[in-house]
Each structure stands twice: as C-alpha cells, then as structure tokens.
Structure 1
C-alpha cells in the first residue's frame, strides 16, 4: 500500500503517532490491518477511526483490498475492541474501574460517569447509537459490562451499530477515491446529528414520562 501511504502524507501531512501506526497496519496487513486499527481505536480513543474507515474504502477503490473485506474486518475490529472493554467492565466492577480510569491518560472518571449515566437512562439504545459517537463508542462498553447486560445482546447491538457506521465511511471513501479526505467535515456533521438525535429522543422520553405521571 505504498500509494496509500503517499496519499495520506500528501493529503493530511506526515502521519505520526497513533494515526501513523494505524496506516502502517493497513499497509502491512490489508483489510485485517484496518480491523486491528479500528479495534485499537476502541481502546485508545485518540486514534481517528474517521480517518481509518474512509482510507480503507479508498484502498478498496484502488483494488488493494476488497470492499466487502474492508467493511467486514472493520466491523469485526469494532466488536472485538468493544468486547474487550465490556469484559474489563464486567471483571473490574465499578469501584476498581473508577480507580483505573483515574490513573489512565487521555480519559478521566467524568467521561466514565457520563457514559454510565447515559447507559442507565437509555440501555440498549446507548450501545447501538454509542457506536456512532467518538469517545462514547469506547466508553459505553464499560457500563454495559458493569451493569451485566447480556453479552449476546451487547454483541448484536454493537455489531449492528458498528456495521452501519463503518459502512457509511468505508463506502464514502470508496466513492470519493483520491478525494477521500474530504469526508472529514461530513464526519463531524454526522456525529453531531447523532448526538442531537439522542438528546432529542431522551427529551421526548422524559416529556412522555412527565405527561404520564401528570395524567394519573
């Protein structure tokens, strides 16, 4: 994938650190490398999946990996990374998990508390829609484990949400070809749209509950 590496340097500058490591995984392993990079993005949120996914689509447009393979492997990566966090949450318990987050760089206990609160209020919707919101897609797996959501339900919701989100960006990268980097502003818009939809749904739920209580 030397051509892909050249394109990423030309369009986005020299990619170092976590993003550069993700690109190198794709260069060396192809579609499975994209899956590993997306799995790592779940565990280390600063890795930008909105770069990895359209880049995988661009690679497919060049014939370097298959389009189906890009979608399947990135979805597998999403599910695998989320499952690891689910199992960590399940094994650690709430007290030890908060102590761990207090020591980790790049995240903090306030992030975990918000994800846990969102999960408590929205349950299954949080797992599905959380796959489409940066940072939340990583952290929402932890309260799912803490609250002992059935693992089968968690995997189905995670796979469905991940497949929808990943397919959108992989297909966009495939369609845009060498212009794949233009997806970034649209990625921001889609993320904000999902957040607005979640907030609106939560507000509607609360409004219905209030009206129901008043009607009694």
Structure 2
C-alpha cells in the first residue's frame, strides 16, 4: 500500500480539523472526534472514521490503535447519551410524549414494550444506521437497559461499523473521500425512508382524528 504524504494543511474544513486533532493528540484525538458524532450528529462518522484510517495510513498511529480509539470514542459518546436518557426517565418521557401533537402515551407504551423485547438488537444494529446511532442510546437509557448489556451491544455494533470505515480509509489513503461519498448516499436513502414513514404516520393520524 502506498502511504499518503499529504500535509494536514491540504485538508480543509471538518476534515482538516479532525486530522489536525488526531495528529496533535494521537489516538485520544481520534476518540474525541468520533465521540462527538454521538453528541453532535451533523459531524458524521462516515466522514471522521475514514479520516482515522487515513491518519493511520500516514503513520500517526497504528491501524489497531485507530480501531481501539475510535471504538472507545463511540462507546463513550453513547454512554453520555444513555445517561441523559436515564436522567430523563421513563415516567417523565411518557408525560412528555402525551403532550406532543399526534402522539400519546399509548404510542410511548407500545414503543417501550417493543424496546423491552428487542432492545439488544436495536442498540446493536442502531450503531450502524446513520443518525439513529446517535439516538438509539436515548431509549436504552430511558428504559434503563442493564448497563453491562448496553455496553456489550454498543461496543459490538460500534466495532463492526468502525472497522469497515477505518480500514477503508486506511486502504484508500488520499482517496478516502470515496468512502464518504458512498456512505453519504446510504445516509440519504435512510433519511428518505424515515421521512416517508413519518409522513405516512402523520397522514394516518390526521385521518383518524377527522374520522373520530
């Protein structure tokens, strides 16, 4: 593999900031950048993970270290969101749901029951779905999923997702934006599906209200 020799100054915007932070702080810098993805979704992991692989290819740290630190950052960020959900609590969230237009406590109860049955799978696969990886920790905290179980599924899902993107960035070197391009397309598809689903939900609720 040809190791990239591009300088940090050639990267601009978020990419330049992320690589600069990784080169300044090493592995902890990668953990910090990836952890922010959970707290600030507009900073997508589809961008920062290939950059961690790119930085590893430049010799900033090893590939194994890149996988370790990025996964640590993912888990740490998810834990912060989990704790926020736990602080909010089931009862408070249920009352809040009852005040949201077109929703109600019955909707919350159904969602709560579904998460009780499929919480492990939701957390594991949710770590690999754009946008939802930042949100899935909220219901886990609200429903007080056992913390050890939450850590297990979060770590497993994050490690799988991170490995795919970090290794791709490592192998592609200066061509790492190719990863972001295709991952971005996947993200748009997911968002489109979610938008349609929300639209159908709203239409059905409005029709039900008119019929009632």
Structure 1 and Structure 2 fold alike (TM over 0.5): yes
Residue 122 of structure 1 and its aligned partner are, at CA, apart by 3.1
How many aligned residue pairs are there?
Answer: 176
Measured in 1, the distance between the counterparts of 2:48 and 2:176 equals 11
Instruction: Decide whether the 8 Å contact of 1:132 with 1:161 is kept in 2.
Output: yes
Match of 2:145 among 142, 149, 170: 149
Q: Can you list the C-alpha shifts for 1:126-159, whole angstroms capped at 9, x where unaligned?
A: 1001111122111110100111111001000000
Number of the residue aligned with 1:6: 9
Measured in 2, the distance between the counterparts of 1:192 and 1:179 equals 21
Residue 193 of structure 1 and its aligned partner are, at CA, apart by 8.6
Is 1:56 the counterpart of 2:52? The answer is: yes
The DSSP-based 3-state class of the residue aligned with 1:149 is: coil
Number of the residue aligned with 1:181: 177
Measured in 2, the distance between the counterparts of 1:184 and 1:136 equals 17
- Identify unmatched segments of 5+ residues in structure 1: 10-14, 101-109, 196-216
Residue 6 of structure 1 and its aligned partner are, at CA, apart by 2.9
Number of the residue aligned with 1:43: 39
Instruction: Decide whether the 8 Å contact of 1:132 with 1:194 is kept in 2.
Output: no
Number of the residue aligned with 1:74: 70
Is 1:165 the counterpart of 2:168? The answer is: no
Length-normalised TM-score, structure 1: 0.70
Residue 7 of structure 1 and its aligned partner are, at CA, apart by 3.9
Length-normalised TM-score, structure 2: 0.71
Instruction: Decide whether the 8 Å contact of 1:129 with 1:194 is kept in 2.
Output: no
Q: Can you list the C-alpha shifts for 1:24-79, whole angstroms capped at 9, x where unaligned?
A: 42232122101111111101111121111111111111112111010000000000
Measured in 2, the distance between the counterparts of 1:54 and 1:95 equals 40
The DSSP-based 3-state class of the residue aligned with 1:123 is: helix
* Cα RMSD for the two superposed structures: 3.2
Superposition pairs for residues 186-205 of structure 1, below 5 Å?
186-188=182-184
Measured in 2, the distance between the counterparts of 1:25 and 1:97 equals 37
Distance 1:143 1:62, change over 3 A: same
The structure with the larger Rg is 2
Deviating above 2 A after TM superposition, structure 1's stretches of 4 or more consecutive aligned residues are: 2-9, 19-25, 94-100, 116-122, 188-195
Measured in 2, the distance between the counterparts of 1:34 and 1:67 equals 12
